[in-house]
Amino acid sequence: MSDTPDSMGGAFPPPKVRASRPGRFERRERAAADALRTALRDLHMDRFGAVLPRAEEIEFTFRAKCRPGEQWVLRFEPPLTEQAGVQLEEAQAGWGIYRAGRVYCFRCDSSACEHSRPPTLLSVFAGYAENGAAEWHDLGQAFLRARDSRVEQLFEEPPRVLALMEYGRTLRTRQLYSFGRASRTYSILGQVVAGYFLRPRGGAPPSADRRMALTFQVVETRNAQGRFALKLNLLAGLADEVALREWLVSEAASWVHRARDLAERELEEIERRMGMGPGGAAPSAADEMKRVPAVMRRLVEYIERGARQSRRRTRHAQDRRQAQRPIHAALEDARQAGAGSIFHDEKSKAFAVCGPQGRIHIFSRDGRHVTSFEMRPDAVAQRVRTRRWRPADADEVMDLRSAVARFVPAPNAPAAEAHAGGGGIRAVRFEGSRGQPPDPTAGTG
């Protein structure tokens, strides 16, 4: 026995006016089709909720056995719910509506279209357009839209890692209902956008932009069995998923990995409780779902805290490396720097010495070394253009050189002692009482 919902739908409801009374067979076929129709409708409702399948037509095949010797008794084998259930699931699974690393685009009905992934490494998910197209913008724009005043910190060198939570409704403000706004088969409950993370340098030159933004989305969807599912979807503009996985398991990103793990486990727990009733209709479903924002808030917290700790660790490692350097590169770079490589920082009133390979050293007016860091040439140019840095004049260069010379340690003195005795190479103020991570760009300001 084979039929499609369409032909069943075509048969019901019966037209009010007919030329002649339908024949016996016709009436019976219609009754059988109607019984099947309601069975399929209710089964779908139970398993997948009220949103209709996206397919315009689904083909069903049913198997039944009949015993003529027993008054033609008929039974479905396997049972009808099983046969229909499997076929509904297949139709559902065929859509591929949820795909890790991609966002579902309602405009294209696809998780594989050009809109479904971040177009650049700096992109985070911006939301849906009226027609359901997935849209992206730079992380900085997300902070501007949220009127988050910390946006400037994103452009520090190196960038500070910030995270921001956005509710699903913010991402759907423009989306029309006819383009999936109320979909429960794919619904972004909220997201955390974060960055800028620094990818490993690899073989890239120091001037290469290593910044990367990430979007963590909490997605309510239905798995192939039609059950309620909660996913934490990580979206990144990396060229391929392998590169992202490698970065995530690397030492440099271990805290991102941990934060994501924790959030995933919390969502799994909510999903488990929600799945206790059919179609996610557990008695406490509403209460369970209220726990989702808390999961996202914790994700924000873990990411930002992890970034601060990682920054501190990196800094300590840098300190150790620096302490081990002969005399220290800073003083050497300062001695060698031409007049064109020394700038006065108008904000911090300190001097910035540009050494080779993007090395920048900050010296206070009296010649103390404050900090060193790396900076891309375009960032240097930006500071000169905005007049935060102005080229030091000849007198300043001479004064700085003689002031710095006073701190050059005696030839046999260990570098670390030279730092301490030389007026404090490490600026204690950076490890201030606020517990803030040191900010190398703050100079002595």
Question: From residue 258 to residue 297, what is the string marking binding to Zn ion with x (rule CB under 5 A)?
Answer: ----------------------------------------
Question: Which residue spans within 377-440 are E strands per DSSP?
Answer: 389-391
Bond from prior residue into 293 cis (ω within 30 degrees of 0): no
Shortest CB 146 distance to Zn ion, Å: 25
Q: Which of 11, 113, 248, 327 binds Zn ion (CB under 5 A)?
A: 113
| 113 versus 327: smaller Cβ distance to Zn ion | 113
Distance of CA 47 to the CA centre of its chain: 30
* Residues in CB range of 86: below 8 A, 6 or more apart: none
Stretch that binds Zn ion, among 113-121, 211-219, 322-330, 362-370 (CB under 5 A): 113-121
Residues 164 and 107: beta-carbon distance below 8 Å: no
Q: What's the CA gap between 433 and 410, in Å, rounded?
A: 33
Q: Which is nearer to Zn ion, 113 or 276 (CB)?
A: 113
The gap between the terminal CA atoms of the chain, to the nearest Å, is 83
115 binds Zn ion (CB under 5 A): yes
- Under rule CB under 5 A, how many of the chain's residues touch Zn ion? 5
**Least spacing, CB of residue 102 vs Zn ion, in Å:** 10
Nearer to Zn ion, 115 or 117 (CB): 115
Of positions 58, 108, 276, 323, contacts Zn ion by CB under 5 A: 108
Minimum gap (Å) between residue 302 Cβ and Zn ion = 32
Residues near 362 by beta carbon (within 8 Å), at least 6 away in sequence: 345, 348, 350, 351, 352, 353, 369, 370, 371, 372, 440, 443, 444
User: Looking at beta carbons only, is 108 or 413 nearer to Zn ion?
Assistant: 108
Which residues contact residue 284 at a Cβ distance below 8 angstroms, ignoring those fewer than 6 apart?
Answer: 273
CB 3 within 8 A of CB 40: no
Which range touches Zn ion (CB under 5 A), out of 109-117, 241-249, 310-318, 432-440? 109-117
For residue 99, the minimal CB distance to Zn ion (Å) is: 13
Shortest Å, Cβ 108 to Zn ion: 3
Q: Determine what percent of the chain falls in helix, strand and coil, rounding each to the nearest 5.
A: 45, 20, 35
Q: Give least dist CB 115 to Zn ion, A.
A: 3
SS3 assignment, position 166: strand
Binding mask 66-105 for Zn ion (x = CB under 5 A): ---------------------------------------x
Question: Is 126 among the residues that bind Zn ion (CB under 5 A)?
Answer: no
Q: Which residues pair with 374 in a beta bridge?
A: 359
Contact call for residue 230 and Zn ion (CB under 5 A): no
Q: How far is the CB of 110 from Zn ion (least distance, A)?
A: 6
Which stretches of the chain bind Zn ion, using CB under 5 A?
A: 105, 107-108, 113, 115
